[in-house]
Structure formats: C-alpha cells, structure tokens
Amino acid sequence: MTCFIRFCNDERGNVKAAHPEYTVGDIAKDLGRQWGEVDEATKSKYEAMAEKDKARYERVSFQIGQVQICQCSYHFSFFKKRKTTPTRRN
C-alpha cells in the first residue's frame, strides 16, 4: 500500500465520526486535504510503512513466482515422460 492509502485507512474513521453527513467523495476530498497538511515527520512514518509493505510484496511475489516455475517444470517433465509412440489397432 502507498503511504497515502495507509494514511487514509488510519484517518477515514475519524473523518466519518466528525462528519457523518459526508459522502464517500467528501471523505476522500477531506483526506486528501489532510494529507497535504500533514507534517514531514508523519509523512515519513507512513512512507516507512509503505516501504515495508513494498518489500514484503516483492518477497512474497518472488516466492509465488518460484512455486509457479517449479510447478510448470514439474508438469512439463511429467508430460515429457508420458510421450509414447502411437500404437496400431488391428
């Protein structure tokens, strides 16, 4: 998740509680305004969380890719072994 999305997830409940009449669009506008006014320390906190998410995503996607490669090579070798010569029927 990006730092902005993490911020929105944390702050959305506060905006809803403060303004129950807001629509989804109003909430999004308010969150965007708040993000623009956030100090650098808070932004860096969310940026660090986003970097951790990115690293975790890359690690997991690499592991999933390795499993898919193994499965593909297994299936390929299975079909390769099954290759037989055609038999004639009389």
Note whether residue 7 is domain-resident. yes
| End-to-end CA, the chain | 65
Dist. CA 76–CA 70, nearest whole Å: 10
Q: Count of domains in the chain?
A: 1
Note whether residue 20 is domain-resident. yes
Note whether residue 40 is domain-resident. yes
CATH number of the domain bearing residue 51:
1.10.30
Note whether residue 90 is domain-resident. no
Domain range for 55 is 3-81
Encode pLDDT of 33-82 as tens digits: 999 999 999 999 999 999 998 888 887 776 666 655 554 554 445 444 55
Note whether residue 88 is domain-resident. no
Note whether residue 72 is domain-resident. yes
Q: Residue 74's pLDDT is what? A: 47
Residues across the chain: 90
